[in-house]
Structure 1
Amino acid sequence: MMETNKALNIIVGLDLSEMDHYLIQYAKILDHILNVAQITFIHNLKLGELPKELIEEEQIKLIQQRIHKRIEEQISATEITYPYDIVVTMENYSEIAFSTLTKQKNYDLLLLGNKQQLTGNGALANKLIRLLPSATLLVPETFHVPIETVIDAIDFSRYTNSIMLWADRFKNNSKGQRIKHSAVHISKSYWSYLPMMTERELDKISLEDIREKEEKWNQAYAQYTDIDIVPAKNQNVAAALIQYAKTKKADLMILGVKGSAGIKDIILGSVANHVLHRPTDTCLLFVKPLIGKK
């Protein structure tokens, strides 16, 4: 089980684009809130994308050195205080580079860009969120500073314990930063029967669902915060969550996501997948279930 104030090992994925500047800045922001043991900055050099004349060993080493130097200069410019290292890998597929790194050392958090106006399709993030055992934090270049409001997206599943532990890391952080958090549950199930039900029947079911979820929450997590039960109505759950985060001006939203080592599960739809493909200025923290929790 994770400890609330555990010293965290963090990976930051860089792609040598303008996004790197924002991720390096955000790493510094996290260090001012969380207990950071070390941050590893990684860039994967895809050999398949290099011209043939640059694939010679000496040329590759020179390219790696230049990439390392560029990243070093960017990090140093932020006046960081945490220990860090820089890894420049060479794999045809970046997910292999990240997977190999996480097998060598246990990492608690992966930091990636969630480009809004910048060029990028988020394909690598979509894969890594599911493949790697760590939690994954997606940061848009439009992120808010400072981090003041955190939202916990609750679906009353096996993810809840992990979501609340991560929420506690921010709320009761060791650095004394003032951060508030609140929980939300998007109620969707009964709206699928809308065409066949009267308004009175819908109101009754809605109230029963809210009471049931509130009671369940109060039995386990009332000491953390209250919970908003929000009907999705004609929206899907992902759209309702993004809209809720925008309304609350949330700096960070924590969600559960299924982990998988199989390619089949990577492309399956889910709330997490739908959230990933919606524009948002809110940082998204995707967490895995705690080991032993069902």
Structure 2
Amino acid sequence: MITIDAMMVCLDLSDLDEKLVAFSRSVCERLQVRKVYFVHNIKLYELADDFREMLGDLDLGKEVESNIADIVSEQFGNITDYEILVGQEPITGLILADLVKRYKVKLTLLGKKMSDKGTGTQGIKLLRILPCSVLVLPETASFNIRKVLVPIDFSENSLHALRLSKALSDQLQLQLETMHVYRLPTQFFPLISEEEAVKKAVEVVKGKFAGLQKRHPEIAGVPFTLVRAANKNIAERIALHLQKGHHDLLVLGLKGNNAMPGLSLGSVPTEVYNSDLKVPLWLVYSEDEIR
């Protein structure tokens, strides 16, 4: 059973906050979440001087906390223990990363607007710096999750994502499908037959998945789909398969990079995040990678 000792919900005082808080309630209703931290950081240096003068002696932190409390009261209620944290630090990512470490946060919820409403650069920064798994909620996403898709590349990280997805699907009685996107070495065409190359690639990948099922009997019954990248990149193929299969949640495993001070997001998760997905995206780090 999936249990989450501490979950953090990042709010930005936009219209998306109400939906994000309501989604956090949905997560708590489905999973065992012991405590939730609703967090916002006020970047005072971004305020114009004339606006600061207008504020006068107003305690902006208390006003923001009161605003968040109203949203939480309406959209979250008392489903589990929670705390509202409002900071005033110059760099949002650093204070959030510190909160993750201090309160041993296992999962962070982020909202995401469509690309025509923002660049999403702040979200990418947070994904790179937060030492925990992240669940991204697009503004158009539904809370009604029935089908889960987890792409794998046969690494230990994608296997961790698959195990989590299987546990989630068993716990909530969801449909689960895994997929792999493969590429062919087109630079060797026409020296080798494309038909033979496809046949060999399919044979090799199916053999890998069969071996994976033997080593991990818990995933033996999970449906597996093999997709050729062809003229699209891996992220585009994942997005197309997600839409075609009417999946409601996408889970991706992430790999840490010990040579860097932060965590490495990777090109495919970055491209997937930057696309206008209409379903929640769960980006998963294993405990070993976090350590």
Bucket of the pairwise TM-score, normalised by the shorter protein: 0.7 to 0.9
Partner of 1:200: 195
Shift of 1:94: 0.9
State the distance in 2 between where 1:60 and 1:168 align.
Answer: 53
Shift of 1:194: 4.8
Partner of 1:113: 111
3-state SS of paired residue (1:92)? coil
- 1:17 partnered with 2:14: yes
Partner of 2:153: 155
Partner of 1:96: 94
Given that residues 162 and 290 in structure 1 are in contact (C-alpha distance below 8 angstroms), is that contact kept between their aligned partners in structure 2? no
Check 1:98–1:264 CA distance in 2 against 1; reply closer, same or farther (3 A cut): closer
Output the amino acid matched with 2:251: I
Shift of 1:181: 1.4
Matched-pair identity in %: 25
Output the amino acid matched with 1:49: E
State the distance in 2 between where 1:234 and 1:141 align.
Answer: 29
Residues 132-183 of structure 1 deviation map (CA, whole Å, 9 limit, x = unaligned): 221011111111231111111111112134203421342132xxx4322111
Q: TM-score under structure 1 normalisation?
A: 0.87
State the distance in 1 between where 2:60 and 2:116 align.
Answer: 25
Output the amino acid matched with 2:26: I
Partner of 1:251: 248
- The 10-residue stretch of structure 1 (229-238 or 59-68) with the greater mean CA deviation from structure 2: 59-68
Output the amino acid matched with 1:130: R
- 1:215 partnered with 2:210: yes
State the distance in 2 between where 1:141 and 1:184 align.
Answer: 26
Equivalent residue pairs, number: 285
Partner of 1:139: 137
Which 5+ residue runs of structure 2 have no aligned equivalent?
none
Instruction: Choose the corresponding residue for 1:180, options 151, 175, 182.
Output: 175
Given that residues 6 and 35 in structure 1 are in contact (C-alpha distance below 8 angstroms), is that contact kept between their aligned partners in structure 2? yes
Check 1:192–1:163 CA distance in 2 against 1; reply closer, same or farther (3 A cut): farther
**What do you get for the CA RMSD once the two structures are aligned?**
2.6
Given that residues 254 and 284 in structure 2 are in contact (C-alpha distance below 8 angstroms), is that contact kept between their aligned partners in structure 1? yes
- 1:227 partnered with 2:224: yes
Which 5+ residue runs of structure 1 have no aligned equivalent?
none
Check 1:204–1:164 CA distance in 2 against 1; reply closer, same or farther (3 A cut): closer
Q: TM-score under structure 2 normalisation?
A: 0.87
